[in-house]
Amino acid sequence: MPDTFQRARSTDAKEIRIAAILQSARAQAEERSVREVTLTDIAAGVGMHKSTMLRYFETREEIFLQLAAQEWSGWAEQAVRELTASEPGDSTTAAELIAAGLVSRPLFCDLLAQVPLNLERGVSLTSVKEFKLTAIASARSVAATLAAVLDLDPRSAREVIATATAMAGALWQMAAPGTTLRALYETDPELSHAVIDVAPRLTGILAALITGLRAGTAS
């Protein structure tokens, strides 16, 4: 494929290139999955040679790690908004909102599993630190809101959010939505036990955890 992008000569032009690369990666990952999208795929999506794209990102993993940071920030804003508007003290509603918010962002759920398995291992330590600081700040903002809504101590609220995001990533991979594996699970009676509905499963885990933490605080 011919390289239709000229090298960026200004800061604004460079930002445009970066945004186009990230959008190409996002669109393809949402259509398929993060693990299936290659550096060549992303480059083709913006009309670049792979070597040209490496002027903007050091690796494929760095591209997806930046998308993961964006998803953390976007989910945190959504979760804080929804929790703030919810009924104070309602553990079940809080669990449902957190679970539904995560499941409404399929790319985020996919990335939550890929980050520790692959993405953080394929970038510089500087890139890892930048991502971690964004993720930590986002998680803390949601935890602080949850603590206020449910009258939880801050440490317990952070535990809920850590569990929510870890389980969302794991359950999403197990559920395998939109894949041939999922189709197999749904059509073969012997494998029906492998069908996982992420939202209700995650809601149940979070509701039980919140209930236990609140009981421990009250005792």
Delineate the domains of the chain, giving CATH numbers in brackets: 1-57 (1.10.10.60), 61-218 (1.10.357.10)
**Average pLDDT, whole number, for the chain?**
92
Distance CA 26, CA 29 (A): 5
Q: From residue 135, how far is each of 116, 145, 157 by CA, in Å? A: 12, 16, 16
Over the stretch 87-132, which tens digit does the pLDDT of each residue have?
999 999 999 999 999 999 999 999 999 999 999 999 999 999 999 9
| pLDDT on residue 91 | 95
Over the stretch 130-177, which tens digit does the pLDDT of each residue have?
999 999 999 999 999 999 999 999 999 999 999 999 999 999 999 888
Torsion from C-alpha of 76, 82, 83, 84, nearest 10 degrees: 100
Percent of the chain residues past pLDDT 90, beyond the cut: 78
Percent of the chain residues past pLDDT 70, beyond the cut: 95
